[in-house]
Amino acid sequence: MVVRAKVAGIDSPEALAHALTSAFYLADDGLATAAYLALALGKPLLLEGAPGVGKTEAAKAISGVLGRRLIRLQCYEGIDAAAALYEWNYPRQMLAIRQAGDKPVDIYRDEFLIERPMLQALRSPDSAVLLLDEIDRSDHEFEALLLEFLSDFTISIPERGTLSGRERPVVILTSNRTRELHEALRRRCVYHFIAYPAPEREAQIIMLRASSVAEATARAVAAAVGRLRREPLAKPPGISEAVDWAEAATVLAKGGASWPDAFRRSIGVAIKDEEDNAHIAPRLDAIITGAAA
């Protein structure tokens, strides 16, 4: 394990939290510590949490703070080495063989290699952050592939041998916890579970992210989504829904709607499921007036 106390000028969790705030991401102490440790220990960072708590946003903010580009790999069932690691450019290889005629030709040169996100990140560790998004959507076969990559940061290409980077790339994994990840995968990573933020923090996030939302509106929305998340909903509103709700209500209020009414009419941006809507409808007024108080 190579430990570096200072990465891209960041030498403590507090410094990272400060830098993230200037990148418009409010990280709590737990996340800042986990992210700093992941950078310093050269381990991947595994972020888990409900959909919409800002896992992908955190990855974007971290890549922004480090000044590196974000290479994002969205996982899905059936994702394989050809989509995640590398692929040969077969048509070009075929053409090269034809053109070469009787002369020997190396068809495994770099010009025939198509780099996929994981190989890209491995080859440019100091200018990229690799985001493996929603790994819980991938299947066990891909998890095994990932395990090999994350344990020693090498990729073996049978035709070329094993490729390894000059240094370890920064890797961030996110999971919505729709299934349990393999223990070995969790072990390799620095782990942080992102919970829904407390109302005060959520109000701050709304004000930071929305264009022109008054503080009272942000607070009311934060309190209301907090209540909504306690209801048994199929799709509880995430942070971006809260931001949208605050913005939508502000727009409606500017158009002349009264405040509780503006919230009520713009509920569609916060709750996007017909049955959830039916479930919440009888109590919506109480939730909104309770939150605005």
Reference 287, options 222, 231, 227, 203; nearest CA is 227
Backbone angles phi, psi at 153, to 5 degrees: 50, 50
Distance CA 36, CA 34 (A): 6
94 binds other proteins, rule: CB under 8 A: yes
Question: In terms of residues, how long is the chain?
Answer: 293
Give the residue, chosen from 55, 60, 116, 188, that forms a contact with other proteins under the rule CB under 8 A: 188
Closest distance to other proteins from the beta carbon of 124 (Å): 25
Tell me, by CB under 8 A, how many residues bind other proteins. Answer: 52
Contact 228, 271 (CB under 8 A): yes
Contact 226, 204 (CB under 8 A): no
Closest CB to other proteins among 232 and 255? Answer: 232
Give the residue, chosen from 21, 120, 124, 191, that forms a contact with other proteins under the rule CB under 8 A: 191
43 binds other proteins, rule: CB under 8 A: yes
Neighbours of 155 (CB within 10 A): 21
Give the residue, chosen from 9, 24, 67, 82, that forms a contact with other proteins under the rule CB under 8 A: 82
Reference 9, options 1, 282, 18; nearest CA is 18
- Span near other proteins by CB under 8 A; candidates 48-56, 64-72, 127-135, 244-252: 48-56
Dig out the tokens for 94 from the structure. 């075929």
216 binds other proteins, rule: CB under 8 A: no
Question: What does DSSP assign to residue 196?
Answer: P
**What one-character-per-residue DSSP string does 243-255 give?**
HHHHHHHHHHHHT
Give the residue, chosen from 19, 33, 132, 287, that forms a contact with other proteins under the rule CB under 8 A: 33
Residues 226-265 that bind other proteins (CB under 8 A): 232-234
Contact 85, 148 (CB under 8 A): no
186 binds other proteins, rule: CB under 8 A: yes
Closest distance to other proteins from the beta carbon of 147 (Å): 13
Q: Which residues contact other proteins by CB under 8 A?
A: 1, 3, 5, 12-13, 29-30, 33-34, 36-38, 40-41, 43, 46, 48, 50-51, 76-78, 80, 82, 88, 90, 93-94, 97-98, 107, 139, 141, 176-179, 183, 186-193, 195, 232-234, 275, 279
